Structure 1
């Protein structure tokens, strides 16, 4: 399955590690350090030109998304529930 992060960016859900509200960058020294390290490694991508609202961490990159963390988490939950239903239906056959 895939998740739309905003703009033209779509990632595989299997690549997703975490979704954070952008405010975590200001409130957590560890998070700020993590993002700074990713920037030094050139593994950060800002999606679109709108104001960033969330940070999405994948296995290979850190994305600044214009979509709120709440909306992104709902999208992943919906995909997860869809996967569970598909799996359950396959097992009951």
Structure 2
């Protein structure tokens, strides 16, 4: 299954390692270093303000969608069909 993470980007659910709120990441020295170390693999999907960071096995995405919205989408896609 795929999750739409903003703009025209979709990622496979199995490739997602973490979804983080940008505000929480801004306060973390570890995340700051992680972003510096992976700056070549960062895909910025935000035309204005970024709300979340989606870390996958292959790339790091800056998403305009909130981490709560992305979590809901991922949970919805992981449910068996016919269940709410």
Q: TM-score, normalised by structure 1?
A: 0.81
RCO higher in 1 or 2 (8 Å CA, sep ≥ 6)? 2
More helix by percentage: 1
Q: CA deviation at 1:25?
A: 2.4
The aligned residue for residue 51 of structure 1 is: 49
Counting matched residue pairs gives 82
**Residue aligned with 2:38, SS:** helix
Is the aligned partner of 1:74 residue 2:69? no
User: For each residue in 1:7-53, what CA deviation from the matched residue of structure 2 results, as whole angstroms up to 9, or x when unmatched?
Assistant: 010111111110000012221111111111110xx100100413110
- Give the aligned partner of residue 16 of structure 2: 16
Structure 2 gap ranges (5+): none
Q: Distance in 1 between matches of 2:34 and 2:61?
A: 13
> 1:44-92, CA deviations, whole angstroms, 9 ceiling, x for partnerless residues?
0100413110000000100000000000011111112237x6xxxxxxx
Q: Which has the larger radius of gyration?
A: 1
1:21–1:54 Cα contact (<8 Å) kept: yes
Contact 1:24–1:31 under 8 Å retained in 2: no
